[in-house]
Chain A
Amino acid sequence: MIKRIDKDISRFQKIVRGKVKKNLKKYITRGELIGKKGKDFVSIPIDQVNIPRFRFSSKKSGGVGQGEGSVGTPIGKGDSQDGAGGAGDAAGKHILEVDVPLDELAAMLGEELELPNIEPKGQKNISSKKDKYTGISDSGPESLKHFKRTYKRALKRQIMAQAYNQKNPIIIPIKEDKRYRTWRTTIQPESIALIIYMMDVSGSMGDEQKEIVRTQSFWVDTWLNHQYENIETRYVIHDAIAREVDRDTFYHTRESGGTIISSAYKLTAKIIEERYNPSEWNIYLFHFSDGDNWGEIDTDECVNVLQEKLLPNINLFCYGQVESPYGSGQFIRDLEDHLTDEEKMVLSEIPDKESIYKSIKEFLGKGK
Chain B
Amino acid sequence: MDLPLELEKHREKIMGYALDFNLDFYDTIFEIVEFDQLNEIASYGGFPTRYPHWRFGMEYEELSKGYEYGLQKIYELVINTDPCYAYLMKSNKIVDQKLVMAHVYGHCDFFKNNLWFSKTNRKMMDQMANHATVIRRHVEKYGPDVVEDFIEVCLSLENLIDQHLPFIKREGNGADNQIEEPESFRLKSKAYMDSFINPKDAIEKQKQLAQEKRDVEKQKFPQQPERDVLKFLINNAPLEKWQADILSIVRDEAYYFCPQGQTKIMNEGWASYWHSRMMTEKILDDSEVIDYADHHSGTVATSPGQLNPYKLGIELFRDIEDRWNKGKFGKDYDDCDNWEVKNKWNKDTGLGQKKIFEVRTLYNDLMFIDAFLTREFCVEQNLFVYQYNDRSDFYEISDREFNGVKQKLLNSLTNFGQPFIYVQDGNYLNRGELYLLHQHEGIDLQSNEAKDTLENIFKIWNRPVHIETFLDEAQMLFSFNGTEHSEIELE
Contact = CB atoms under 8 A, between A and B. Distances in A.
A88 interface: yes
A71 B400 contact: yes
Interface of B is mostly: mixed
B239 interface: no
A307 B280 CA distance: 87
A87 B411 CA distance: 9
Nearest to B306: A90
A62 B389 CA distance: 10
B61 A64 contact: no
Contacts of B114: none
B396 interface: yes
Contacts of B94: none
Interface string B139-171: 000001000100010011111100000000000
Given A52-B456, A54-B421, A56-B443, A5 B304 contact: no
B463 interface: no
A12 B444 contact: no
A231 B54 CA distance: 38
A218 B400 CA distance: 52
A78 B394 contact: yes
Contact of B399 (A51, A71, A85): A71
A60 B472 CA distance: 9
B189 interface: no
Interface stretch (B179-187, B215-223, B307-315, B333-341): B307-315
B55 A51 contact: yes
Contact of A55 (B36, B43, B445): B445
B382 A51 contact: no
Interface stretch (B85-93, B283-291, B412-420): B412-420
Residue from A12, A66, A72 with most neighbouring chain B CB atoms (10 Å): A66
Interface stretch (B320-328, B345-353, B354-362, B446-454): B446-454
A53 interface: yes
A87 B397 contact: no
A304 B422 CA distance: 77
Contacts of A7: 52, 57
Interface string B109-153: 000000000000000000000000000000000001000100010
Contacts of B312: 66
Assign chain B's interface to a size class: 35 or more
A308 to B, nearest CB: 56
B395 A88 contact: no
B396 A60 contact: no
Given A69-B384, A75-B305, A88-B265, A12 B55 contact: yes
Contacts of A14: 54
A130 interface: no
A65 B388 contact: no
A81 to B, nearest CB: 10
A61 B397 contact: no
Nearest to B48: A4
B304 A69 contact: yes
B387 interface: yes
Interface string B369-394: 00000000000011111111100111
Contacts of A4: 40, 48-49
Contacts of A52: 156, 449-450, 452-453, 456
Interface in A1-41: 3-5, 7-15
Given A64-B412, A78-B394, A9 B60 contact: yes
A8 B409 contact: no
B264 A65 contact: no
Contacts of A86: 412, 417
B302 interface: yes
A74 B60 contact: no
Contacts of A89: 264, 309, 417
A58 interface: yes
B417 to A, nearest CB: 5
Contacts of B55: 8, 12, 51
Interface in B238-296: 264-265
B393 A64 contact: no
B44 interface: yes
Given A5-B44, A66-B384, A12 B302 contact: no
Given A60-B443, A88-B413, A55 B449 contact: yes
A341 to B, nearest CB: 48
Contacts of B49: 4
Given A8-B53, A52-B453, A72-B397, A65 B156 contact: no
A76 B302 contact: no
Contacts of B60: 5, 8-9
A257 interface: no
Contacts of B309: 88-89
Contact of B408 (A54, A62, A74): A62
Given A66-B381, A68-B382, A13 B388 contact: no
Contacts of B408: 62-64, 87
Contacts of B394: 74-78
B365 interface: yes
Interface of B: 36-37, 40, 43-44, 48-49, 52-58, 60-61, 144, 148, 152, 155-160, 264-265, 302-309, 311-312, 365, 381-389, 392-400, 405, 408-409, 411-413, 417-419, 421, 438, 443-447, 449-450, 452-453, 456, 467
26 contacts: A8-B43, A12-B61, A13-B57, A50-B449, A53-B157, A53-B159, A54-B159, A54-B467, A55-B445, A56-B444, A56-B446, A64-B385, A64-B386, A64-B405, A65-B303, A65-B307, A65-B383, A67-B304, A74-B392, A75-B304, A75-B386, A82-B446, A85-B395, A88-B307, A88-B365, A89-B309
10 smallest CB-CB distances across A and B, nearest first, come from A12-B57, A8-B57, A52-B452, A90-B306, A9-B57, A74-B394, A11-B54, A62-B387, A12-B54, A75-B304
